[in-house]
Amino acid sequence: MKKHGIDVPSGRTCHRLACRPFLFEPQWYPDLITKCREVLYTPGFGVSTVKAFSVMVMCDKMGLPVEDAFGLMPSDKWAWWFMRQQMGLVMRRASGTPVAAEVADKQDELHLITLQRLSVMIHSGLKLKYIIGSDEFGLHLFPVADYVWRDKGSQKVAADLKEDKRQYTGDCAHNAEGGVVCVHQIWGGSTERSMPSPQKRAQHPHFHFAYSPNHWANLDTKIAFAKRIWGWVVDEFMKDHKAETGVDLTRAEAETRARCVWLLDCWPDNTSEVNTKLVTQHVNKQTLHPQHCTRDP
């Protein structure tokens, strides 16, 4: 029997077009892409949206009323494939909502206050190389995943790398002169064996290597990085004092007299009372936390 020009198998019960497989012609892709693009930034866009629009496009092309499209619904897998392969979309974690104009103005005002404070410090004799900024980033070493291509029937499938070794957290501390003060590298693990070998670490003296349970930065790694940065500041201050006066300072004297500014973002571990107390205890520096200083212009 035929319904709307489509063969429907006889001898069993079929609810409208429920027996018809989903067949979406490639020449219809542009129409579906256009519909999806029109609502791409609408909250909730996703698999269900693509499935619904695909039925609408198919019914339009086939001349079918939408109410007769019960059996034309594609699978979630097909909708996922369409978004990735035909629309070029990828899943991204939302990092926030659009900033209102008045909020952006407030952020700019706060950032200007930070720059004004720095200007006063520079006018009072603070050298540019002692104005230091840093922020964390995640780096994927290899584009690998839990699934790999292997011959059909393979009995054992192993990956070249463990999952927790595919990425590390980095933190590059640089100064206002454009120099690199230190580079932080945090690996996932619970012992020093999680980090590169001692021989490899020795080849990179500007790197500060650390480890944490999930390779993310935390309060302990931040304080360790602060100590490393402060060590660099004290070393540079001793060199500067020797060059300017010809007098050598002891390290204890240099630690008392050296000054620097460390610009950090507003990550909770950076602004916490515990972090401020530990930084004050271990190093002699001032930390500034410009609100949203890394936001898009």
Q: What is the DSSP string of the chain?
A: -EETTEE--SSS---TTTTSPP---GGGHHHHHHHHHHTTTSTT-SHHHHHHHHHHHHHHHHT--GGG-GGGPPPHHHHHHIIIIIS----------PPPHHHHHHHHHHHHHHHHHHHHHHHTT--GGGEEE--EEEEESS---S-----TT-S----SS-GGGSEEEEEEEEETTS-EEEEEEEEESSSGGGSPPHHHHHT-TTEEEEEETTS---HHHHHHHHHHHHHHHHHHHHHHHHHHHS-PPPHHHHHHH---EEE----HHHHSHHHHHHHHHH---EEE--TTTTS--
Among 124-138, 143-157, 180-194, the range scoring the smallest mean pLDDT is 143-157
**What is the spatial distance between Cα 252 and Cα 234, in angstroms, rounded to a whole number?**
9
Quick one: average pLDDT of 250-272? 84
- What's the rounded Cα separation, in Å, for the pair 236 and 249? 12
pLDDT on residue 248: 94
Taking only the tens place, the pLDDT of each residue in 205-244 is 888 888 888 787 788 888 888 888 899 999 999 999 999 9
Give the integer Cα–Cα distance in Å for 52 and 72: 10
pLDDT of residue 9: 36
**What is the CB-side half-sphere exposure of residue 71 using CA atoms within 13 A?**
13
| Cβ atoms of residues 188 and 168 within 8 Å | yes
Going by C-beta distance under 8 Å and a sequence separation of 6 or more, which residues neighbour residue 19?
8, 9, 12, 71
User: Could you tell me the residue ranges of all domains in the chain?
Assistant: 2-86, 101-288
d(CA 294, CA 252): 36
8 pLDDT band, cuts 50/70/90, is very low
Count of CB atoms situated within 10 Å of the CB of 188: 20
β-partners of residue 138 are 169
Cα–Cα distance for residue pair 164/147, rounded to 1 Å: 15
Instruction: Supply the pLDDT for residue 287.
Output: 55
Task: Flag whether pLDDT at 21 surpasses 90.
Answer: no
Residues 6+ apart with CB under 8 A from 195: 185, 187, 189, 201, 209, 210, 211
pLDDT score for 285: 56
CA distance 284 to 120: 19
- Which residue matches tokens 């092309």? 61
How many angstroms separate the Cα of 33 from the Cα of each of 73, 98, 145, 231?
A: 17, 25, 29, 56
Can you give the C-alpha Rg of the chain in angstroms?
A: 30
pLDDT > 90: what percent of the chain?
Answer: 24
Provide the pLDDT for residue 216: 79
Higher-scoring residue by pLDDT: 140, 220: 220
Cross-strand partners of 136: 171
More confident residue, 156 or 241: 241
